[in-house]
Amino acid sequence: MGQAAAVPVQGPQGGYVSPPATGERKNPWVAAILNLIFGIGYLYLGYKKVLGIPTIAFVFVILVVDIVIGFFTFGLISFIIAIVLAYDGYLKANGGKGYIGTEPVTLYR
């Protein structure tokens, strides 16, 4: 008998990552409203990373970006960012792909 080579199992290579499996689906309206506030909805949805950085760091980055860009654009770009984040949170809470890359928390047993 020959030995079988061990092949490591890799996750999906595409850009889409399904929402974290927490046993229950989160309310899409709550996710959308929380995402209006600097992307806090991603914490509510349980994502580990957003755009490749830890979720809490993403929230702080969006806070700074909203303040700086909002000052120079009289809040217009900050408003657009908030709407995009809210819609993305709504889509992700409904099990959709959304627009912003996220990575779920990995649960180990």
CA distance 105 to 45: 10
Say whether pLDDT at 86 is over 80. Answer: yes
pLDDT, position 68: 94
* Pair 72, 80: CB distance under 8 Å: no
pLDDT, position 4: 54
And the tokens for 23? 């046993």
Instruction: Estimate the crossing angle of helix 76-93 against helix 55-72, to 10 degrees.
Output: 150
Q: What is the pLDDT of the chain when averaged over all its residues?
A: 82
Say whether pLDDT at 42 is over 60. Answer: yes
Which tens digits make up the pLDDT trace of 54-77?
999 999 999 999 999 999 999 999
Query: Which residue's structure tokens are 């959308």?
Result: 32
pTM above 0.75, yes or no: no
